[in-house]
Structure 1
Amino acid sequence: MATRHEGRQDATGGDAAAAPDATPVRPGPAGSGAAEGRAFIGSFTHAGGRGVTAASVDPATGALAVTGATDAVADPSFLVLGPHGTVLYAVSETEEGTVAAFDTTGPVPRLLSAPVPTGGSGPTHLAWVSGHVVTAHYGSGSVSALPVRPGGSLRQVSGRVQHEGRGPDPERQAGPHAHQVVPAPGGRLLLAADLGTDSVHVHALDPATGTLTPRGEIPLRPGSGPRHLAFHPAGRHVYVLAELTPTLTVCRWDPRGTLVPVGEVPLRPDGGEGGAAYPSGVAVAPDGRFVWAAVRGDDTLAVLAVGGDGERLTPVAHVPCGGRWPRDLTVDREGRRLYVANERSGDVTWFDIDPDTGVPAPSGSVPVPAATCVALG
């Protein structure tokens, strides 16, 4: 399996105290009528993480309160909830590559069945789409699909696509490194950002058979290293985050499967180049007015305003991420708060978003060693 250097050694989580085994679940404010939410946090167990950590979400403040954790799966670096929120899926970012399904109805996630091999090494991302869990593999540079049983557990791999090619960076791009897979609106087409090939691959998923068919490959700037991408809610534009050059590429999306790059925006103030910076995650406001990107090294969140029906991005601000080495970020479904998983400082920080400017202000944090991502229920 190729090693993901990401410009640093793996996190140790040594800067944060371990989270308690159980924290009382906090009820919502009296008379609010708001239901308490759930959050699930991934982490690197090899670096001191506790696996999958569960937390309650205060409906009034967005605050997280840890309810427990499970290390039943090694290095669950990325998580996604199924459509009903009662089953959580986690990749195990290991050489053999597996994915696991957890029941989330209790205070601590519980394995539904033994983890299932993904058919690739080093899976870094997964998505639920059309009755399948689809995984992207950094190590093997491939994408796999696994059918989901009615109860939420997983069947064996039903489809797999192998990427080919390499970029100009001899260390990071010696071969394909599929870093993320995202369903396009409608769920029949998938977009896979590949850091190693400097491109976005488009694959078709057959929901009846679970097979995957390559539909095209869109090249981006050589050496940019596409890592993650996100759709504008209108479905006509895609924002592709480059890890090796701190930029965000705006692309037009044709639902027939065509992606056309139309512009590039720097993610550092004034396009600055001082010191190493490695963008990690991108999130779009539910109303489409703002885009946020996490930048490791700088340890900042870049805020961009969206105009031109999604095609024009204007930098607004760069704010501290609330910790060190922000590996991923998540916006809640109302667009009121951001949650940032800070891997090196070992915590998750949440921010209140200014509804007029999109600028996030830190509101609180909770220790989660070697945190990698946050999935909101």
Structure 2
Amino acid sequence: EPTVTEHKGGSKVVESRQQSPHPHWTGFSPNGKYALVPDLGLDQIVIYKVDPSNPFISPHGFGQSVPGGGPRHMRFSTNEKFIYLLNELTLSVTTFAWDATKGTAKTLTTEPALSKKDKEGETFNSSAEILVHPNGQFVYSSNRGHDSVTVFRANPKNGKLKVIQVQPIRGAFPRNINMTPDATWLLAAGADSNTVAAHRVDPKTGKLIYQRGSIVNVPSPICILFAK
């Protein structure tokens, strides 16, 4: 029988979005011992311990994000030492130190994806998706409203991020981005423009280069996956 685990409370920092819990994504730690759930309403990553012999999870702890951040999605660093948490409401990425043995996430730093000036140019902005390059050196997040992808350089020693590029997607409302399996291309899904656009990934710098003529028409694309 399936089990249901409820989140309770709400940070209430952003009144219109955080009056109650809003579990937004679920994933597992690299060793499979923990389930992690970014909750937009709580400003937390809620951590559960996984019982591999039974379909059960038990509350284990949480990682605290920034007030009003609105956690949406997250990714582990390739060395499995850090978590990169995408905050939807503040358009930022919070880095956590991950202890795989204890199953704990310690808040380290938060880096804005867009400058204040960039955000002021739009009536609506929110983050949507986050990716980590397979080489571990770069992190990517999509910005709805500003309609762009922010490229960060990641420090493998302390997990700190630094913005190195903000690339227009050549579309509108990038609800999803994904990389090709060989990490040579980043595809950006413009949900409001009904388009998917391809950007070449420079393997040395991590920066994106738009490929002219690559835009294809797709009705309201919201997720890009590759079949094996």
Q: Report the CA distance between 1:309 and its aligned residue.
A: 2.7
| Secondary structure class of the residue paired with 2:157 | helix
- In 2: Cα distance, 1:220 partner to 1:197 partner: 9
State the partner residue of 2:107: 261
Q: 1:355 to 1:271 in 2, by over 3 A?
A: farther
- 5+ residue gaps, structure 2, are none
Q: Quick check: 1:370 aligned with 2:220?
A: yes
Q: Quick check: 1:188 aligned with 2:36?
A: no
Q: Is the 8 A contact 1:269 1:318 kept in 2?
A: no
| Secondary structure class of the residue paired with 1:162 | coil
CA RMSD of aligned residues (A): 1.5
Q: Quick check: 1:159 aligned with 2:3?
A: yes
- In 2: Cα distance, 1:178 partner to 1:283 partner: 19
One-letter amino acid matched to 2:113: L
Larger RCO of the pair (alpha carbons < 8 Å, separation 6+): 1
Q: Is the 8 A contact 1:158 1:209 kept in 2?
A: no
- In 2: Cα distance, 1:198 partner to 1:181 partner: 15
- In 1: Cα distance, 2:226 partner to 2:157 partner: 27
- In 1: Cα distance, 2:119 partner to 2:223 partner: 27
Question: Looking at CA atoms only, which structure, 1 or 2, has the larger radius of gyration?
Answer: 1
- In 2: Cα distance, 1:344 partner to 1:375 partner: 19
Q: Aligned ranges for residues 1-377 of structure 1 at < 5 Å?
A: 158-167=2-11, 168-255=13-100, 256-269=102-115, 272-274=118-120, 275=122, 276-309=124-157, 311-363=159-211, 364-377=214-227
Structure 1 runs of 4+ aligned residues shifted over 4 Å read: none
Q: Report the CA distance between 1:270 and its aligned residue.
A: 6.5
- In 1: Cα distance, 2:137 partner to 2:117 partner: 22
Q: Is the 8 A contact 2:118 2:146 kept in 1?
A: no
- In 2: Cα distance, 1:226 partner to 1:290 partner: 20
Q: 1:225 to 1:190 in 2, by over 3 A?
A: same
> Could you tell me the TM-score, scaled by structure 2's length?
0.91
| Secondary structure class of the residue paired with 2:48 | strand
Q: Is the 8 A contact 1:340 1:373 kept in 2?
A: no
Q: Report the CA distance between 1:305 and its aligned residue.
A: 0.8
- In 2: Cα distance, 1:355 partner to 1:178 partner: 34
Query: How many pairs does the alignment contain?
Result: 221
Q: 1:311 to 1:271 in 2, by over 3 A?
A: farther
Q: Report the CA distance between 1:161 and its aligned residue.
A: 1.5
- 5+ residue gaps, structure 1, are 1-156
Q: Is the 8 A contact 2:40 2:70 kept in 1?
A: yes
- In 2: Cα distance, 1:271 partner to 1:262 partner: 25
- In 2: Cα distance, 1:322 partner to 1:181 partner: 29
> Could you tell me the TM-score, scaled by structure 1's length?
0.56
- Per-residue CA deviation, residues 182-218 of structure 1 (Å, 9 max, x unaligned), is 1111112111100011110001222321111111122
Q: Report the CA distance between 1:159 and its aligned residue.
A: 2.8
- In 2: Cα distance, 1:211 partner to 1:231 partner: 23
- In 2: Cα distance, 1:376 partner to 1:345 partner: 21
Report percent identity of matched pairs.
Answer: 28
Q: Is the 8 A contact 2:119 2:146 kept in 1?
A: no
